[in-house]
Amino acid sequence: PYTTLFRSMDVASCYEFGIGTAVDRSTALKWMQKAAVQKYPDAMHYLAIMYEKGIGTEVDYDKAFYWYKGAADLGDSRAAFAVALCYEHGGFLGQDIVTTFMEPNEEEALAWYCQAAEMGSANACVALVRVFKEGLLGQTIDLARAAQYELKRQKAHTDAMAAVKSKLDQLPTDA
């Protein structure tokens, strides 16, 4: 099944970026949906982005949040961070504005930031450092916890860089 899922995502990318075919973002959306409905977290996360940004469809924040939450529930740290942001701000963050579509919920925001940090999200760790340094989201200032999340952020960053290096090392070289 994963080969089919990867193929669905590959086909979606081809249509989105015009690789070997004309750009057709609505067709890209359909192919991404095929992988997402089978609970493939990467596809769910990317489908959420498509709904959030209106790629191949009208912007639909409720659907975007649904797919982010689904991907987060399956362990996608990027999606968990997006869910936390939505709960903190009551919507999605744009360039200079928040597109509000739900009530902010500090308790849920904190829980999702913590969950995303446990999944290895460096961005969530940065948010939690801010929370505990400044006493946000109903928390008291706790510099020891802020320091713990800073260490966790450093580890998450190091792990991410090692993963990138590993992938680069697997690429064929032109010698």
Whole-angstrom Cα distance, residue 51 to residue 36? 13
pTM: 0.86
Pseudo-torsion of CA 9, 11, 13, 15, nearest 10°? Answer: -140
Q: Is 90 helix (H, G, I), strand (E, B) or coil?
A: coil
Tokens in use for 168?
A: 């680069």
Q: Looking up tokens 């609505």, which residue turns up?
A: 26
- Give the pLDDT confidence score for residue 160 in this predicted structure: 86
pLDDT, one tens digit per residue, over 37-78 is 999 999 999 999 999 999 999 999 999 999 999 999 999 999
Using alpha carbons, select from 114, 109, 117 the residue that is nearest to residue 87.
109
